[in-house]
Amino acid sequence: MKIVDFVRPELIIAELHGRNKAEVVAELARHMAQQQPEINAATLTRVLMEREQLASTAIGEEVAIPHGKLASVDRLLSCVGRSRVGINFDSMDGRPTHIFFVLVAPENSTGIHLKALARISRLFKDPAFRTRLLAARDAAEMYQVISEEDAKY
C-alpha cells in the first residue's frame, strides 16, 4: 500500500487557519467535502471529533492522524493539513501538532484502514521527512515530499 494511492495534491492544505482542535478538524472536513462529493462536512467533523473524544489521534512528534469511517465512501480517502504555528491537539508528548493526516475509510472496512494507519505512522517516524514536509513552500511541494518518501518503502 502506498500513501499516494489515497492522497492527492488537491487534498493538501499548506496552511491551516484553525487555532484549536475543533477548528482544525472542521477545516479539514470541509476541505475534504469540497473535493469529495460523497463526503458531508458536518458528518465527517462529527465522526472525527467522536474519535478524538475516545483518545487524541496526535501521535507525538508534531503529527496527528485523525481518522474515522463513513458509510458514504467506498474507498480510502485522505487529506493532509499543515499548521506552521502548531495546534494543541492533546498530543502524547505535549508538543504542538503541525501536521494533520486525516484518514477516512468505508464503514465496513478494517484491514485497509489499519494498514494505512501503520504506513502513515511509519513514514512520520522519520524526523528528516517531517522537517522536509514542514519546510515545503506549498501544497504541491508537500505532495512531492510525500511522494518521494512513499517511494522509498
Active site residues: 67
The C-alpha cell that represents 143 in the structure block = 505532495
The C-alpha cell that represents 75 in the structure block = 474507498
Residue carrying C-alpha cell 518503502: 153
**CB 81, CB 10: distance < 8 Å:** no
10 Å Cβ neighbour count for 75? 12
Query: Which residue, 5, 15, 150, 151, is CA-closest to 80?
Result: 15
